[in-house]
Amino acid sequence: MISYSPQTHSILEYNKARGVAIRTFLFYALVTFVFIGMLCIAYNEYSLLDSNPQTIRQNCSSESLTLTINTTTTVSPIKQPVLSDTLDIPEIYKIPIPRKAHMPCQSYHEINGISFDQLWEYPPVSVFIGIFTIATKFERRQVIRDLYRAQQKTLIDDRVEYRFIMGKPDSPHLQLRLEIEQEAYGDLLILNITENLNKGKGHAYWKWAAKTFAGIPENKSLLIAKADDDVFIHFQNLALNLRPLAPEYLYYGHERKKKGGGWRTGLMFILSMDYIEWIGKTEIPKRFIKGPEDVRVWDWLRWGNLPKTTWVNEDCLLYQDPRSTEKRHSWLHKDYAGPQTIGMHGLKKSFMWDGVIDLFFGKNQFTD
């Protein structure tokens, strides 16, 4: 055992007491620092929570962060989908779509002596509609989906089904979003082609339709349509106007007249099953694959020298949004909409669809 002199012992006791004091000071200083830090964090979190709850959720835990990312990038259609579409709404689209109780023209059936009310007397029909879209148009698909599903519930006897038609997405991110969308709704059809506008998408779609529907006895009278995703289709009016038509060699739509006839424009047109079966078993020449998809179908039917038993031009009930000032589709223009409408074209922005919802699903009545 080491012995210390009284002086040395006094020094040791002093140093010991000083060490205790220093440690005590440091301990309380640390506690104070931590407490102040917690107050600051709490204040910042409160401020963030007040202005951006999502940021707080992301800062709390890695699990919450992962969940938030999955929600915003794969389930929600597009970040701020409406704001980017509605910052500068033209004045013409802030008013309701012009409307009257009767169209400013006669439909195909009215020209041929069949009134709108008489259409109900004919047997119901079944229609499949392929809606051409692209992977990134999540928001527009959701609007269409809501309106079309609502209409399916109110159809009287007729049957109308639809699918969104697109090519393969060009990124894993889009692929993942589409997989989740398909899991949720089951109404997507991704063709085995690279997404394109006029480089064979139409050919791939009609070949798919033939492979899927042709050769089945129950589908003999099934009608196959192609439509754009900037078109609102009134399901019941479409079905009613198809009822009186013979489903043999039917080519139906708004005709764009050219020398030697005219094609049914791509906003929406319909083929009967006999045409579909022919497309399925025929090798279409390469020169008729690329180019405007609606014109190409017309080329096929003429090249194949097929019968023209029921070629119908419905240029009254398929038209451009009456508010549109787009000169490119001036030949589709009508001054106002009517309750007999089959399809309204040119709905390329979210705010344009608002007018359609008000017109066909709201309480406002069509008046003379």
**Listed range (40-44, 166-170, 240-244) with the worst mean pLDDT:** 40-44
pLDDT mean over 287-309: 91
Q: Which residue has the higher pLDDT, 363 or 205?
A: 205
Q: What is the DSSP letter of 16?
A: H
Q: Are residues 48 and 102 in the same domain?
A: no
Q: Which pLDDT score is estimated for 322?
A: 93
Determine, yes or no, domain membership for 366.
no
The per-residue pLDDT for 33 is 57
For the beta carbon of residue 174, count every other beta carbon within 10 angstroms: 17
238-249 residue pLDDT tens: 999 999 999 999
Domain that holds residue 179: 83-361
Confirm if 324 and 346 have CB atoms less than 8 A apart.
Answer: yes
Q: Which residues pair with 310 in a beta bridge?
A: 250
The predicted pLDDT at position 28 comes to 61
* 97 and 50 fall within a common domain: no
Q: What per-residue confidence (pLDDT) applies to 3?
A: 37
Rg (CA), the chain: 33
**What residues does 279 pair with on adjacent strands?**
none
Provide the percentage of residues in the chain whose pLDDT is more than 70.
74
| Higher local confidence (pLDDT), 169 or 56 | 169
Residue 368 lies in a domain: no
128 and 161 Cβ atoms separated by less than 8 Å: yes
- Are 14 and 140 part of one and the same domain? no
Residues 45 and 89 in one domain: no
In this model, does residue 62 exceed pLDDT 70? no
What pLDDT score does 264 carry?
86
Q: Is residue 1 part of a domain?
A: no
pLDDT digits (tens, 9 = 90+) for 307-365: 999 999 999 999 999 998 876 666 678 999 999 999 999 999 989 999 999 999 988 77
Give burial (CB, 10 Å; 0-12/13-18/19+) of 336: middle
More confident residue, 50 or 172: 172
Tokens of 80: 């701020």
Residue 237 pLDDT > 70: yes
Quick check: is 118 in a domain? yes
Of 75, 94, 129, the domain-final residue: 75
Considering the domain architecture, whether residues 95 and 41 belong to the same structural domain is answered as no
Q: Do 154 and 22 share a structural domain? A: no
Model pLDDT, residue 366: 78
Query: Which CATH number does the domain housing residue 101 bear?
Result: 3.90.550.10
Q: Across residues 229-254, what is the average pLDDT?
A: 97
pLDDT in tens, 125-153: 999 999 999 999 999 999 999 999 999 99
Lowest-pLDDT choice from 45-59, 83-97, 133-147, 258-272: 45-59
- pLDDT of residue 103 exceeding 50: yes
Q: What is the pLDDT of residue 57?
A: 29
Q: Do 103 and 247 belong to one domain?
A: yes
The average confidence (pLDDT) of the chain is 81
Note whether 65 and 92 are same-domain residues.
no
The torsion defined by the Cα of 19, 22, 23 and 25, in degrees rounded to 10, comes to 160
- In this structure, the chain runs to a length of 368
In whole angstroms, give the CA distance from residue 33 to residue 273: 79
**HSE-CB for 259 with a 13 A CA cutoff:** 0
Q: What is residue 286's predicted lDDT score, i.e. its pLDDT?
A: 92
Residue at 284 is within a domain: yes
**Structure confidence at residue 218 (pLDDT):** 95
Q: What's the confidence (pLDDT) of residue 331?
A: 64
53 and 93: one domain? no
Instruction: Label residue 305 by pLDDT band (50, 70, 90).
Output: very high
Residue tagged 């999955």 (tokens): 70
Query: Quick one: pLDDT at residue 24?
Result: 57
